Structure 1
């Protein structure tokens, strides 16, 4: 097992128990060695550790400040996955980086760009020996969206696009009652937390950065944090314009990206087939045969594999963070948040166009 890194998970909430632990357990023979699961509460940490004890018999539960220090000082733990509320993640990211741990944190990278820039500066200042700091944006690892991005390259001049996000957020959703997403200090609520996914999908599929937005956000459902609806006009760096419409107070469900070009159209729609959820990707070529293919979801699994592979190569093969998978690069995650932040700023100014912030410095 000398080439398999040791990993700890910080956070024992819904996403850890429903995604990370099942994926790691399914691949326990090839997965990293899960050394510890930490939570601020003893009960949560012990419950999460019990779920994977069969697959990782040496995993231990840690909690509180003392447990965190023990993890950060443990030389057998090479990396940590941070799955905590967005308001506090950056604090733990910086502590982990300072201790020399490689970090995979859940999206969004931070509650505001200002908060993110402070830690980006710290990480950049660590130089060439800095640990990997990756952000888990599984949409950049979804085979269906990757295929859509490949097809878009063959549609000629990009003329327009539309992103439709209809996701009813009600009591049947496990994240509905999540306290941190409802915190008044977390500006954007589900629009920020979920919206970065759909911006990431747009940036991936079009292969372009968003440069300017004009948006109107509304608060319709009093049981949801504000805002719960956004309609935006977006301009890309190639001067193509399109729309993004996002609703969490809706009743129907639909998630899709559609890009129109002079030689064809590409569409990726969330769908299911044979009991599997995923994306149905359809190519409508000019004067040709319509082609459709279904791709089951595997983004979370793929991003975890990529991170563990990067850490393994650094720890055992002399690679550096510069060699890590660019899809999880913190700058990518920064630009996802930048688009959402620009939308909210535009709405606060009655839809006045806002330029999207760019972080130019490479790390």
Structure 2
């Protein structure tokens, strides 16, 4: 039987990503309701849902609509796709109502404290998962396995050149402009998730410099950081939010959950016996080219299309179903969706931003 969920939020990402990706797994999930602050935006999202064959979707808005979703016992889980400033408050309300939650990350320490308190009082286990992370992209999953073959890690590089400008649907997003860290934090956390997944360990300290060059963007819009991993290896993280000459990825189109249509995105891990590199590209469809360079000079380069959003939604629905069946007694949720993992991703970016504000001072990453 398909799991009934509600979507809280009706913005660009819901319409461009969540609804089409959920339609791919419609045998697993039914959208019972879509909620927004305003009736107009909720109705627009419901109309989009109907185009993706979700026919009987309730349109909910405002405080009354949120109350209806809380009271609806048939809705067992919610996807919170709202402005970062509002995510935690709404998520905690849903958790208190006994619903499983999939959301982004913000306000970490307060959120974790409240979640643990709610979980302790709940009759069964409650799942609070983080979405839109790269731990489910097949290219990164496979590359993590390949890194074990290149010997002791010597250097790690992460390079991002985005093209955030007025043609981008997220450019005018008010909450990102009133969000500490702006687009660097909003976009950068995805790449940190990929980094931590690849290297298989945590970032322990950072030193960074930031700058604000493009005044049409909130500060900072550039960051250059060195970081130290707990395995003893060091690396560099360089991010330009809006480059005028980013590498084209084939035809112009919107790339899933990254916010920019053309980008240079690169992870590179150099080991004693070889190198693994992941680079965003286009081979008939958007995805990642994984290049593995061996000590023998040979290179193999498989290509992996995007499917991370679909895979993480499938994992969340599977967790909800299994938790319901097992009543939480023997249930272990998918670790890649863990809210704590998301908190650790954000903590790395926050440490870099703090170091940047201190002119490169060494900052230790907060532990969760």
The aligned counterpart of 1:314 is 323
SS in 1 for 2:301: strand
Q: CA deviation at 1:56?
A: 2.4
Distance 1:153 1:53 in 2: 45
Asked whether 1:261 is paired with 2:256, we answer no
Q: Does the CA contact (< 8 Å) of 1:255 and 1:269 recur in 2?
A: yes
Distance 1:350 1:138, change over 3 A: closer
Could you say what secondary structure the match of 2:167 adopts? coil
Residues 129 and 321, structure 1, Cα contact 8 Å, conserved in 2: no
Matched, 1:249 2:242: yes
CA shift for structure 1 position 26: 3.5
Q: List alignment gaps of at least 5 residues for structure 1.
A: none
Q: CA deviation at 1:137?
A: 3.3
TM-score, normalized by length of structure 1? Answer: 0.93
Question: Greater shift after overlay, 126-135 or 170-179?
Answer: 126-135
- Paired residues for 1:141-180 under 5 Å: 141-180=136-175
User: How large is the RMSD of aligned CA atoms in angstroms?
Assistant: 1.6
Q: Give the Cα–Cα distance (whole angstroms) in 2 for the partners of residues 40 and 127 of structure 1.
A: 28
- Compared CA separation, residues 220 and 355, structure 1 to 2 (3 A): same
Cα deviation for residue 155 of structure 1 reads 0.9
Aligned to 1:230, which of 216, 223, 235?
Answer: 223
Q: Secondary structure at the match of 2:102?
A: strand
2:254 corresponds in structure 1 to none
Which residue does the alignment assign to 1:205? 198
Matching residue of 2:294: 285
Alpha-carbon shift at residue 118 of structure 1 (Å): 3.8
**C-alpha distance 333-322 of structure 1, shift in aligned 2 (>3 A):** farther
Q: Is the 8 A contact 1:135 1:328 kept in 2?
A: yes
- The question of whether the paired residues in 1 share the 8 Å contact of 2:205 and 2:365 is answered with yes
What is the SS of the residue equivalent to 1:195? helix
CA distance in 2, matches of 1:211, 1:127: 34
Deviation at 1:123, TM superposition (A): 4.3
1:220 to 213, 219, 224: 213
> Residue 24 of structure 2 contacts residue 310 of structure 2 at CA under 8 Å; is this kept in 1?
no
- Mapped pair 1:92 → 2:90: yes
Provide closer, same or farther for how the CA distance between residues 58 and 127 of structure 1 changes in structure 2, counting only shifts above 3 A: closer
Q: Report 1:104-119 matches (<5 A).
A: 104-105=102-103, 107=104, 109-110=105-106, 112-119=107-114
Give the Cα–Cα distance (whole angstroms) in 2 for the partners of residues 113 and 347 of structure 1.
Answer: 20
Corresponding position of 2:359: 350
1:323 aligns with 2:311: no
Stretches of structure 2 lacking an aligned partner (at least 5 in a row) = 247-262
Q: Partner residue of 2:28?
A: 31
**Aligned residue pairs, count:** 350
Structure-2 change in CA distance of 1:226 and 1:314 (3 Å): same
How far apart, in 2, do the equivalents of 1:27 and 1:236 lie?
A: 37
TM-score, structure 2 length as denominator?
Answer: 0.92
Measured at CA, do residues 126 and 135 of structure 1 come closer, stay the same or move farther in structure 2, by a change above 3 Å? farther
Are the aligned partners of 2:25 and 2:314 in contact in 1 as well (CA < 8 Å)?
no
Deviation at 1:350, TM superposition (A): 1.1
Q: Deviations over 1:152-179 (max 9, x none)?
A: 1111110011000100110121111111
